[in-house]
Amino acid sequence: MSDKKVIVNVRAVKPNDVDTFINLYIQSYKGLEEYAYTTKRDIRDYFKWLLKRDPDGFLIVELNEPVAFMACDANWFSPFEMKFVGEIHEIFVHPNYRGQGIGSMLIKRAINYAKEREREIMGLWVGVRNTLAREFYKKRGFIETISFGKWMRMIRKI
């Protein structure tokens, strides 16, 4: 039995988290590359875009080491709902840490963040064939609305 204490830290992402983001993103999207950026340059550009969109909604979870990221954008205008929504652009958890409630905690944080900014709807896009993620979101109150190519739109009233 280990006496090593696990320290949970959820904080806003900083620009110098970019390399951690890239490495964790690649590990988290193994097997789902059709829905991911696949070059480090593209992932780096994506990180910069997320940080610029809504830095207050871009979070990292650390459990002695970085294990997850979430980007919630409360400045997003959705042409599908015709209003500003809390849009989850990204959420991923390192495969070794899945099933421990980290993703659920991040969804709750995103919902609270969007509510603080007076948004009424959470939205996201998920891969049509990513059945695990679709089920994850359904269990948390999201409903499927439309599909567009390889993507499925899901929303939840908050």
pLDDT value of position 8: 83
pLDDT in tens, 32-50: 999 999 999 999 999 999 9
Q: Where are the domains of the chain?
A: 8-120
The rounded percent of the chain whose pLDDT value lies above 90 is 94
Q: Which CATH class is domain 8-120?
A: alpha beta
Sheet holding 83-93, edge to edge: 8-12, 58-63, 66-78, 83-93, 121-127, 151-157, 143-148
Q: Which residues contact 11 (CB under 8 A, 6 or more apart)?
A: 59, 60, 62
Query: Global pTM?
Result: 0.93
pLDDT in tens, 95-114: 999 999 999 999 999 999 99
More confident position, 2 or 44:
44
Average pLDDT, the chain: 95
Crossing angle between the packed helical segments 40-53 and 18-28, to the nearest 10 degrees: 120
